[in-house]
A and B are shown apart, each in its own frame.
Chain A
Amino acid sequence: MKFRKITGAVTLVTALALAGCAGGGGGAPTDGPGGTAAATLTIGAVVDITSWDPAQAHVGHALQPYQAPYDTLILREPDGTLSPMLATEWSYDEARTKLTLELRDDVTFSDGEAFDAEAVKANFDHFKAANGRQAAQLAAYESTEVVDEDTVVVNLSQADPAFEYYLSQAAGLMGSPAALDSAGIATDPVGSGPYVLDAAGSVAGSQYTFTAREDYWNPDLQKFGKVVFKVLTDPTARLNALVSGQVDTTLVDAQAITQAEGAGKELVAYQTDWAGLLLFDRDGVQVPALADVRVRQAINYALDRKTLLETLALGQGSTTAQVFGPDSGSYVDALDSAYPYDPEKAKALLDEAGFGDGFSFTVPTVAGFETILAVVGQQLADVGITMNSESVPPQNLVSDLGSGKFPAAFFFLFQGEPWVAINQIISTSALYNPFDSSTPELQKLIDAVQAGGDTSAELAKAVNTYVTENAWFAPLYRPNQILFVDPKKITATPQIQQAVPSIYNFAPVQ
């Protein structure tokens, strides 16, 4: 009897729970009709926001959420054009170390403070002092002079061709000076942006809800009544949330395309990264063979990029032999076919260089790289090159790559602005040039880019050509970012050189 009673109670509780959930949970977003100002945009975010302090803002995936509460000084259009936002116009002096910014005079922060020249100065100083996750963006920043209420002059220690671009990124996010130095800024963003954080709808590490700010100065950029970021670091969780309608847009793996399309979602594909080998040891410190340009070229000829793209990324992407992206302004069409698959030529080059019997080198590997390295290793083995892998903890990868511990490495790297790319992988101060490889010829080309002003991207084509012809790298392909949207609710325009579109690029379906 007692046994039955207990069983009955368990059944009852389960049934109640199920019934309760069916009514309350549902899982379907509770939006207003699409195309109205009350529409909701729910984004499945790949990374969490660790702090809402603009000085701790990040790039790529992690910039997007900051665009809800914060405006940037400069707006980067989807095609990369820099347009006025909080700064109405800007210009450099001749040496390109003084940047004058004219500011809007009709903007207030969500705490009521006015946005003005003093606020810009406070933000730059705060960003510099905080030494946050994108401190690199203000590496050249020295000081700000307040000229008048709506004019500042930013002093740089040296010309930085990417500085204006940075003002559309983390370094350009403007927070209320009254909030910047308070502890609260980490959890409660106070900016002049189109949305304000709704604490009741937010849970750290899980979900951030923003509601439209009343009287926002630029209604054209405020397309939704509510924007929700759901943090979904797991790819399966993102796919499930997308297919079940819990998010309107998110990134998924190439393997998930069929399922997402089957659920009526629309693919928006674009490219932001390149994948390939960085042949660091160009002076032959650890692996003498790599000092010979013919050997590095042989590696490039040994790679069947088309097959690699098909096998490893299900054809989602484009093969490439250069590290500068099509949107960088420094892309050279012809370079993409600089090294067609030709194992015979690879063997001949190795022979010519005196390494006909082959040689070996070691690359670091982390979880997720195993398959790629196995396939690439097989293709290299076919021409007599042995590529060994050594496991490193994922948290050590970046510093290991930058420390000169390995003669080469496989990696996915962001294809950004030319000056950013140069300082990431090519110049002697670049982290991913651990052996400080350089030649006077290359240095001259880099100097020209730095001083090039508006023509710097064009001038960087020469840098691109140099490193490709000298086989500094062995790029494989540019993988597609697989972004899906719910076409019944929203549209999305890709943002060049950004892992996910800016929030302004989403719009409700009319």
Chain B
Amino acid sequence: MVAFILKRLGAGIVLLVAIAVLTYALLFFSGTNIARNILGDMATDEQVALKQAELGLDQPLFTRFFGWAGSAVQGDLGTSWFSSEAVVQALATRLPVTLTLVIVSMTLVAVIATLLGMAAAVKGGWVDRVVQVGAVIGDAIPGFVLAIILVTVFAIQLGVFPAVSTISPGAGAAAWVASMTLPVIAIVINYVTSSAQQIRSAVIDQYRRDYVRTLRSRGISEREILFRHVLRSASPAGLTIISLQFIGLLGGVVIIEQIFALPGIGPLAINATALGDIPIVMGVVLVTVTVVIIVNLLVDLANGALNPKVRVS
């Protein structure tokens, strides 16, 4: 087990380095005159040249990359070129918002999708039809449209929730809950039915297996069969889809954060990319890749714990 984890972590680090090198090179060759972007259209050529030297933009790719990487391995991701904010600081203030949004949403998706998927598989009938139709609708309506509908109804018409984030250090937990509710609902509606459908298929598939028939013939209750055997065997499929959704959501949450003006990683990434603020872009990439690696590792471990068949030796 320990060897497995170490192996996966090692592979993760290789992946992280590869992506860092690739991203840095892509940004380098994108040909942006960042100094000009910083100083605007009124700056003189001398001022632009001065800024380029100050940021080290006149250095070759390798010097710049190794300079950045050397600091990065010591935990210093540099400072934003447009503000003087340290990248680590910028990420530290924004990551909790994004992670809260993603983790709360995906936890709810996991719980609700499992319940719906099981109900659809076991009970069939209208529950099944709702899940089937809902999966199509949930996939078809883009998250941002749902978000706008929710804001119009619950923030503008009913005034129950704020239309845009009210999160601030002094505002307390109530502001967090209020600001997160509509975005979370938008994400959950968007994601829950497709997960439910996957879980439904997996549960139905398990019910058709011989072992279920054997268990039934031995007089084991339906409830025990479902919760102790079927669900357990169906869980890898569910976990996989939810982990894929989690990873997809790290990117998809950008639009939701924009619409609700949540101070997460999304707006930071969009701004930095549009401006060519390489230190921030690199920081966002590193953090995102790290989260993806951790999530994948956790899913593998969870799968192993739930299902001995996929457990690594």
Tell me if B37 is interfacial: C-beta within 8 Å of chain A. yes
The segment from A86-94, A203-211, A300-308, A342-350 that touches chain B is A203-211
Tell me if B94 is interfacial: C-beta within 8 Å of chain A. yes
Closest to A20 in B: B177
Give Cα distance in the complex from A15 to B83, angstroms: 42
- Neighbouring B residues of A136 by C-beta, 8 Å: 39-40, 42-44, 47
Cβ B37 vs Cβ A206 within 8 A: no
A374 → chain B closest CB, angstroms: 23
A127 → chain B closest CB, angstroms: 12
Give Cα distance in the complex from A263 to B155, angstroms: 13
Give Cα distance in the complex from A424 to B42, angstroms: 6
Cβ A396 vs Cβ B261 within 8 A: no
Cβ A186 vs Cβ B85 within 8 A: yes
- Neighbouring B residues of A393 by C-beta, 8 Å: 30, 32
Tell me if A230 is interfacial: C-beta within 8 Å of chain B. yes
The segment from B160-168, B199-207, B234-242, B289-297 that touches chain A is B160-168
Give Cα distance in the complex from A237 to B85, angstroms: 25
Tell me if B151 is interfacial: C-beta within 8 Å of chain A. yes
Q: By the criterion of a CB under 8 Å from any partner CB, how many residues of chain A are at the interface?
A: 74
Cβ A240 vs Cβ B276 within 8 A: no
- Neighbouring A residues of B262 by C-beta, 8 Å: 206
Cβ A206 vs Cβ B155 within 8 A: no
8 Å CB contact of B271 from A56, A133, A201, A233: A233
Tell me if B298 is interfacial: C-beta within 8 Å of chain A. no
Tell me if B306 is interfacial: C-beta within 8 Å of chain A. no
Cβ B163 vs Cβ A27 within 8 A: yes
Give Cα distance in the complex from A423 to B45, angstroms: 13
Tell me if A440 is interfacial: C-beta within 8 Å of chain B. no
Interface residues of A in 5-26 (CB under 8 A from B): 6-7, 10, 17-18, 20-26
Cβ A23 vs Cβ B174 within 8 A: yes
A244 with B156, Cβ < 8 A, contacts A396-B31, A429-B44 known? yes
8 Å CB contact of B93 from A131, A133, A186, A204: A204
8 Å CB contact of A7 from B43, B115, B166, B276: B115
- Neighbouring A residues of B39 by C-beta, 8 Å: 131-133, 135-136
A51 with B42, Cβ < 8 A, contacts A201-B170, A233-B267, A395-B274 known? no
Interface residues of A in 159-176 (CB under 8 A from B): none
Cβ B83 vs Cβ A230 within 8 A: no
Cβ A240 vs Cβ B156 within 8 A: yes
A25 with B263, Cβ < 8 A, contacts A139-B44, A201-B168 known? no
Closest to B54 in A: A131
Which DSSP category, helix, strand, loop or mixed, fits chain B's interface?
helix
- Neighbouring A residues of B38 by C-beta, 8 Å: 133
Interface residues of A in 202-241 (CB under 8 A from B): 202-207, 209, 230-234, 236-237, 240-241
Cβ A6 vs Cβ B115 within 8 A: yes
A162 → chain B closest CB, angstroms: 10
8 Å CB contact of B37 from A10, A237, A399: A399
A244 with B163, Cβ < 8 A, contacts A200-B168, A204-B90, A204-B93 known? yes
Which DSSP category, helix, strand, loop or mixed, fits chain A's interface?
mixed
Interface size on B, as a range, is: 35 or more
A65 → chain B closest CB, angstroms: 13
Give Cα distance in the complex from A58 to B43, angstroms: 12
Tell me if B118 is interfacial: C-beta within 8 Å of chain A. yes
Interface residues of A in 420-434 (CB under 8 A from B): 420, 423-424, 429, 431-432
- Neighbouring B residues of A187 by C-beta, 8 Å: 85
Cβ A234 vs Cβ B259 within 8 A: yes
Cβ B166 vs Cβ A27 within 8 A: yes
Closest to A25 in B: B178
Tell me if B273 is interfacial: C-beta within 8 Å of chain A. yes
- Neighbouring A residues of B177 by C-beta, 8 Å: 17, 20-21, 24-25
Tell me if A33 is interfacial: C-beta within 8 Å of chain B. no
Interface centre among B39, B164, B169, B260 (most CB of A within 10 A): B164
- Neighbouring B residues of A53 by C-beta, 8 Å: 84
- Neighbouring B residues of A319 by C-beta, 8 Å: none
Closest to B114 in A: A6
- Neighbouring B residues of A134 by C-beta, 8 Å: 40, 42
Cβ A431 vs Cβ B42 within 8 A: yes
Tell me if B179 is interfacial: C-beta within 8 Å of chain A. yes
Cβ A205 vs Cβ B275 within 8 A: no
- Neighbouring B residues of A403 by C-beta, 8 Å: 33
Cβ B90 vs Cβ A203 within 8 A: no
- Neighbouring B residues of A206 by C-beta, 8 Å: 165, 167-168, 261-263
Cβ A234 vs Cβ B258 within 8 A: yes
| Interface residues of A, Cβ cutoff 8 Å to B | 1-3, 6-7, 10, 17-18, 20-28, 48-51, 53, 56, 58-59, 131-137, 139, 183, 186-187, 198-207, 209, 230-234, 236-237, 240-241, 243-244, 246, 263, 393-396, 398-399, 402-403, 420, 423-424, 429, 431-432
What are some 20 contacts across the A-B interface (CB < 8 A)?
Answer: A1-B223, A20-B178, A21-B174, A27-B178, A50-B83, A133-B38, A133-B40, A134-B40, A135-B43, A200-B168, A203-B168, A203-B263, A206-B261, A231-B263, A233-B258, A236-B148, A240-B155, A243-B163, A244-B162, A393-B32
18 additional A-B residue pairs with CB within 8 Å, beyond A3-B119, A399-B33: A1-B223, A17-B181, A21-B181, A27-B155, A50-B83, A131-B39, A136-B40, A187-B85, A200-B169, A203-B167, A232-B261, A233-B270, A237-B258, A240-B156, A241-B164, A244-B159, A246-B162, A399-B37
Closest 9 A-B residue pairs measured CB to CB? A25-B178, A24-B174, A50-B83, A200-B170, A206-B263, A399-B33, A27-B162, A136-B42, A240-B163
